[in-house]
Amino acid sequence: MPTEVTYGLPYDQWNWRIGVYIAMIGLAGGAYLTGYVADLLAEKRDSRQYGQVATFGYLVGLGGLAIGPPILLSHLAAPFRAMMIPLTMTNLGSWMSIGAYMLMGFGLGTTLMFLWLAFGTNRPHVQTLDSSNEVAADGGEDVAADGGPAKAATSDETAGGFRGAANKVGLMNLLDSIADYTRPSRRNRLVVGALFGIFAAGVLVYSAMAYGSGSTERVALWDPTFLLPVQILTGLGAGLTIAVGLAALAERDVGRPIQNCSLGAAGLLAGGLVAVLATLFLLPEQIPEAQPAVDNLTSAYALEFVGIALVGGLLLPIVLSIAGTLGVRRDALSDSGAVGAYVAAAALVVAGKLALALSYLMAAEFTPMPLPV
């Protein structure tokens, strides 16, 4: 009777779709959590720009869910059966089951939080305008369903380009009505957001556990002690960086709130970089079996890992985020220059997060896993 399973090369079983899935759900969870913190700051300080970062944080959460899970399902032989896992699988000891429940709850939460901030005539964190056809500070102009100036919402600003997009497809009035009808009071909305934040945190953790989804002992590079900090910090940092870039692009102005969020994103990305470096230098000391995979990261996959993930996806965004903020504060950079720096940082972290996830998959060295007999 065979007593062990020998796994082949990682890419024989875990192709690029798994990497994209892991990267996207990590981004989504991180964007929601940092967006929620911005939401709290917006309420506490009555700050519209913190509100913009929160709105785009929830939007990035939705975007990550819209991309990652469908790509994973396209990799499976029975995607419909996989979609039914939350209804058919009740083994809470399995990360596959836990992840499915987390994603389901997170999807509901980020949809509601985005809807309540972006739509409705009484949405939070908006700024009253003096005239109905004034261009909003975020570069957008509130519009009614017929394309003219908004009616009930003419006294406040648009939440961004997505309102115009919803208007073009004829959904804005419907979404405004649903948001106004379902939105709780401000305090209760934040309580609900905190509860859904538990699911977001679960998704962020699951983005690390999804590598192994079970017996990760057979892949020393994916040791949870080192992998969890990498996934959590890079997910939070990348999610916030993207939300800041989108908010700055919509605002065409970088006030203190956006600057502060940019510095926060740089700090989180720096933490992620330290976690990755700790994996390179400390993991082989703790687990010698990880040395071949670490060597793969810095040799066979150096372009993807060192070039795109570390330098392009972490180091450069840190520099751009800090330089954009300090440049504006010292009058050495215009607002448009800072917006360009934040948008470039956002684009780079997306590429970097994808490259990091794919590098960890391709460089992994599988070892025979004894079966209990």
Q: Which stretches of the chain score pLDDT less than 70?
A: 1-14, 75-96, 127-160, 212-217, 367-373
pTM of the model: 0.85
What pLDDT score does 370 carry? 53
Q: What is the pLDDT of residues 338-372, one digit of tens each?
A: 999 999 999 999 999 999 999 998 898 876 555 54
Q: What is the pLDDT of residue 152?
A: 40
The domain limits of the chain are 10-128+135-146+161-363
Return the CATH number of 10-128+135-146+161-363, one of 3.90.79.10, 3.40.1160.10, 1.10.3720.10, 1.20.1630.10: 1.20.1630.10
Residue 97 has what pLDDT?
A: 72
What was the pLDDT predicted at 17?
84
Q: What is the pLDDT of residue 112?
A: 97
**Which residues lie below 8 Å from residue 32, measured CB to CB, with a gap of 6+?**
57, 58, 61, 106, 109, 110, 113, 196, 197, 200, 239
What is the β-pairing status of strands 369-370 and 4-5? antiparallel
The amino acid that residue 250 corresponds to is A
User: Could you tell me which residues are beta bridge partners of residue 369?
Assistant: 5
- pLDDT in the model for residue 219: 84
pLDDT of residue 89: 62
Between vectors from CA 93 to CA 87 and to CA 95, what angle results, nearest 5°?
75
The residues, ordered by sequence, that sit 6+ positions from 172 with a Cβ below 8 Å of its Cβ are: 119, 143, 145, 163, 166
pLDDT score of 77: 55
pLDDT at 372: 47
Distances (CA, A) of 204 to 147, 200, 272, 328, 354: 39, 6, 14, 33, 15
